[in-house]
Amino acid sequence: MSTLRQTVSRWLAPLRRQLGRTPVLAFMLAFLLAVLLEQQVGENFAKSLEFRKIPKFFGLVDIFEPFSDLDFSGILAPFFPSPSMDVETPIQDSGAAIGELVSTFWNALFYQGARNPGFFSVLVRVLVYDIVIFIVPILILALLLRGPTLWVLQRLPRWLALALHLGALYVVLMLWGADGGTRELILIYMGINIMLSASLNLVNGYMGEFSVGHAGFMAVGAYVSSVLTMVFFTNSSVFGPALLSPDLGLPFGFIIALLAGGVAAALAGLLVAFPSFRTRGDYLAIVTLAINFIVTGVINNMEVVGGPRGLNGVPLWTNLTWIFLFTVLSIAAIYNLVNSTLGKGIIAIREDEIASSLMGVNTRKLKLVAFLVSSFIAGVAGGLFAHQLAYVNPGNFGILKSTEALVMVYLGGMGSISGSIIAAVIFTILIEALRPLAVLKWVVIPLILILLMLFRPQGLFGFRELKLNLGLRPKPTQGQPTETEASDAAAAD
């Protein structure tokens, strides 16, 4: 076994070494070309693999589709029959349901047919599709492009090189992602989740507090920005005709509404920041939980915004460009904060609050900063979320949403921005991919979390950052670690 692994890794070693020297930009450009390739031949190739259309999101969304028929309710239902149900012996009925479940599961794994292909069949075909359309072309093109991109990058000033990365990322996202369908939706949720997990990581990971009510701030931002855009820029049934012209809504109205939502969320963040001066740890966690409930409770009782029925008719303004813009800005803000002197102070509070105050760290001020920034970003994310759903409802921002944010932070690793980004990406894809499993999704995802805590409790990148090869010129100052792009990664100093 080990010899096989050694042989394989020896085989792959030169390739890995070559790819390690290839800058990220080359991969991005290669991906761009692969996307063009997919646009040319993807449809036909997918059809020849017996897909009805191009696999969604690299096929990740398709793989679990065969399991969508699994019915778990039949197992327990006989034990708790409804009046209309005729159940003689619950055990037998339940047993029958289990039998049916097993056969459905078996069919989902193996059943071959044009309409209902089995899991393994889909998996193999998705792999073939991805390898032919994406993986192989990207590897080859990235290696070919390595020289030219390095040549260009080394001759550009740093800021221009970084801007080039962001620009390339944006072009890739727009060209591949802005399909107005599944991809765009997943990418939008991805951006929102990145903002949520990175901002929560500021408090939970960098400052070492345990905030469990992040969705509360999101709710404040979502509602405030929605009400603003509806009152001022939309003719809605709830608030009547627009106070200002609907033409002003994009882009200025939206920006202002989102920022106002962020400010409102930051003000709500004060409700946590002030208690945090006097209490911490588990007790502060309870405070944050309480604030999550207070926020949703207040909204539930505000008839103006629809109470528990929610607010309908929020303009559908969020798109990939907005998400890209605010995600990049949020990550840049958090990255700069945690790498600044203030950020060192925040980390010192995590390590030992008393010792840090003895070194001149103004712990109250830094707690304020951390909670304000964190809840501000959560509020903006909430605004984007509302303008994506076109409908907000207090139920969207309950403890489950807060838990999702926590899962992403601990999956990615505390005190790691790149960890939070990668975890948000993985988590979003996982949620979408496991959607066909319905209820089972909430068994599989916690299970993944339990396994993670058992085998990698520090998360994917606990207190470390992913280092990407951006192919930049090293900074003139000596002794600095390789500098990396703000939105991607950096050395954890």
Partner 1 sequence: MLLNVQDLHVSYGAIRAVHGVSFEVDEGEIVTLIGANGAGKSTILNTIAGLLSPNSGRITYQGQDIGGLDAHKVVQRGLALVPEGRRIFGNLTVSENLRLAGYQLQADERARRMKRVFELFPRLGERRDQLGDTLSGGEQQMLAVGRALVTGGHLMLLDEPSMGLAPILVQHIFSILKEINAQGTTILLVEQNAHMALKIAQRAYVLETGHIVLSGPAAQLASNPDVQKAYLGA
Q: Which of 437, 155, 184 is nearest to 324 (CA)?
A: 184
H or E element in which residue 311 lies: strand 311-312
Residues 255-284 that bind partner 1 (CB under 8 A): none
Q: Among residues 362, 395, 442, 491, which is the contact residue for partner 1, using CB under 8 A?
A: 362
- What angle (nearest 5°) sits at the alpha carbon of residue 380, between those of residues 168 and 270? 135
Site string for partner 1, 312-341 (x = CB under 8 A): -----------------------------x
- What angle (nearest 5°) sits at the alpha carbon of residue 448, between those of residues 28 and 61? 50
- Residue 380 and residue 259 in contact, taking contact as beta carbons nearer than 8 Å: yes
**Rounded Cα distance, 259 and 299, in Å:** 20
Cβ-proximal residues to 459 (8 Å cutoff; 6+ apart), any chain: 409, 410, 411, 412, 413, 414, 416, 419, 423, 452
- Is residue 361 a contact residue for partner 1 (CB under 8 A)? yes
The neighbouring-strand residues paired with 240 are 236
Q: Among residues 345, 379, 412, 436, which is the contact residue for partner 1, using CB under 8 A?
A: 345
Q: Among residues 1, 4, 91, 358, which is the contact residue for partner 1, using CB under 8 A?
A: 358
Of 150-158, 353-361, 373-381, 469-477: span binding partner 1 (CB under 8 A): 353-361
- Is residue 491 a contact residue for partner 1 (CB under 8 A)? no
CB closer to partner 1, 344 vs 441: 344
- Residue 87 and residue 78 in contact, taking contact as beta carbons nearer than 8 Å: yes
Q: Among residues 3, 351, 454, 479, which is the contact residue for partner 1, using CB under 8 A?
A: 351
Site string for partner 1, 396-415 (x = CB under 8 A): --------------------
Residue 352 Cβ, how far from partner 1 at the closest point, in Å? 5
Residue 344 Cβ, how far from partner 1 at the closest point, in Å? 6
Buried b (16+ CB within 10 A) or exposed e, 42-73: beebbeebebeebbbbbbbbbbbbbbeebeee
CB closer to partner 1, 309 vs 365: 365
Residue 43 Cβ, how far from partner 1 at the closest point, in Å? 53
- Is residue 370 a contact residue for partner 1 (CB under 8 A)? no
Buried b (16+ CB within 10 A) or exposed e, 333-353: bbbebbbeebbebbbbbbeeb
Site string for partner 1, 142-171 (x = CB under 8 A): ------------------------------
CB closer to partner 1, 55 vs 343: 343
Q: Tokens 């106002």 belong to which residue?
A: 260
Within a 10 A sphere around the Cβ of 432, how many other Cβ atoms?
19
CA distances from 247 to 253, 259, 283, 401, 482 (A): 9, 19, 48, 33, 46
Site string for partner 1, 436-475 (x = CB under 8 A): ---------------------------x------------
Q: Which of 64, 37, 43 is nearest to 55 (CA)?
A: 43
CB closer to partner 1, 458 vs 469: 458
Q: Judged by CB under 8 A, how many residues of this single chain contact partner 1?
A: 19
Q: Among residues 199, 211, 363, 396, which is the contact residue for partner 1, using CB under 8 A?
A: 363
- Is residue 352 a contact residue for partner 1 (CB under 8 A)? yes
CB closer to partner 1, 7 vs 480: 480
CB closer to partner 1, 265 vs 342: 342
Of 26-34, 346-354, 426-434, 452-460: span binding partner 1 (CB under 8 A): 346-354
- Is residue 354 a contact residue for partner 1 (CB under 8 A)? yes
- Residue 425 and residue 432 in contact, taking contact as beta carbons nearer than 8 Å: no
Of 181-189, 220-228, 355-363, 399-407: span binding partner 1 (CB under 8 A): 355-363
**Rounded Cα distance, 342 and 319, in Å:** 33
- Residue 122 and residue 64 in contact, taking contact as beta carbons nearer than 8 Å: no
Q: Could you tell me the two tokens for 179? A: 């399909």
Catalog residues that contact partner 1 under the rule CB under 8 A: 341, 344-345, 347-348, 351-352, 354-364, 463
